[in-house]
């Protein structure tokens, strides 16, 4: 949703987990609850609830009036590009982002070619791993943001370990990381 006024900015969270009730989704919920508590409107987009096909690499995509793929990506991207703040969240799969978040990243290419850039004041990254790969995954998300922002913006990170379904909810460290990330984002958005 677009921001209603400068007093109530909006943060859109894009969650690249295939599990709506998984550990990554839980960590995002913690962050969004803190943002809401501080007066920031939020919207959570679970990519598994939308049809976001992988990019097919059309060389002429910027010359087309709309993306050639008939799916939900344009609707998702429209919400993201209007947001005052952005949260990108993914579990770690094979030391990097999930297929869902990778498809989302790649589908930004058309907007990149059209010189359309993200304009949030701040971004938050939520990364949950079973064992390893957090640093690599955060680096992937930061590279995407570096290519997609008009100007460099602050990036806040919340990460932690959780393997079995529901394990994140037992992690005081992950809860604290998500809450602190959201608090820092709210401070920036509401300044």
List the domain boundaries for the chain.
10-189
For residues 85-114, average pLDDT: 96
Rounded to the nearest 5°, which phi and psi values hold at 116?
-95, 130
Judge whether 3 and 101 are in contact, CB under 8 Å: no
For residues 80-93, average pLDDT: 98
Helices assigned H by DSSP within 4-53: 23-37
Count of CB atoms situated within 10 Å of the CB of 99: 15
For residues 82-102, average pLDDT: 98
Average pLDDT value over all residues in the chain = 94
Topology classification of domain 10-189 = Rossmann fold (3.40.50)
Quote the pTM value: 0.94
Residue 15 is predicted with a pLDDT of 98
Q: How far is CA 76 from CA 34, 43, 60, 167, in A?
A: 23, 11, 22, 29
Measured CA to CA, the distance from residue 132 to residue 144 in angstroms comes to 21
> Model confidence over 26-49: pLDDT tens digits?
999 999 999 999 999 999 999 999
Q: Can you say whether the dihedral through the CA atoms of 6, 31, 188, 43 is positive or negative?
A: negative
Residue 7 is predicted with a pLDDT of 64
Judge whether 145 and 83 are in contact, CB under 8 Å: no
Share of the chain above pLDDT 90, in %: 88
Count of CB atoms situated within 10 Å of the CB of 191: 7
> Model confidence over 133-159: pLDDT tens digits?
999 999 999 999 999 998 889 999 999
For residues 171-178, average pLDDT: 98
Residue 112 tokens read as 């990149």
Residue 96 is predicted with a pLDDT of 98
Measured CA to CA, the distance from residue 75 to residue 182 in angstroms comes to 25
Residue 77 is predicted with a pLDDT of 97
């Amino acid at each position: 949703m677009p921001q209603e006024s400068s007093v109530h900015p909006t943060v859109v969270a894009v969650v690249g987990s295939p599990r709506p009730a998984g550990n990554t989704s839980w960590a995002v919920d913690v962050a969004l609850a803190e943002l809401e508590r501080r007066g920031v409107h939020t919207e959570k987009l679970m990519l598994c609830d939308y049809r976001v096909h992988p990019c097919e690499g059309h060389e002429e995509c910027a010359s087309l009036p709309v993306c050639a793929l008939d799916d939900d990506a344009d609707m998702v991207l429209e919400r993201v590009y209007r947001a005052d703040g952005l949260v990108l969240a993914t579990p770690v799969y094979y030391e990097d982002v999930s297929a869902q978040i990778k498809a989302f990243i790649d589908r930004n290419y058309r907007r990149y070619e059209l010189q359309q850039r993200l304009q949030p004041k701040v971004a938050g990254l939520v990364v949950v791993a079973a064992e390893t790969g957090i640093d690599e995954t955060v680096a992937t998300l930061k590279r995407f943001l570096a290519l997609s922002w008009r100007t460099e913006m602050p990036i806040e990170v919340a990460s932690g370990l959780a393997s079995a379904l529901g394990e994140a909810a037992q992690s005081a460290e992950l809860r604290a990381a998500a809450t602190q990330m959201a608090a820092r984002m709210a401070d920036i958005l509401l300044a």
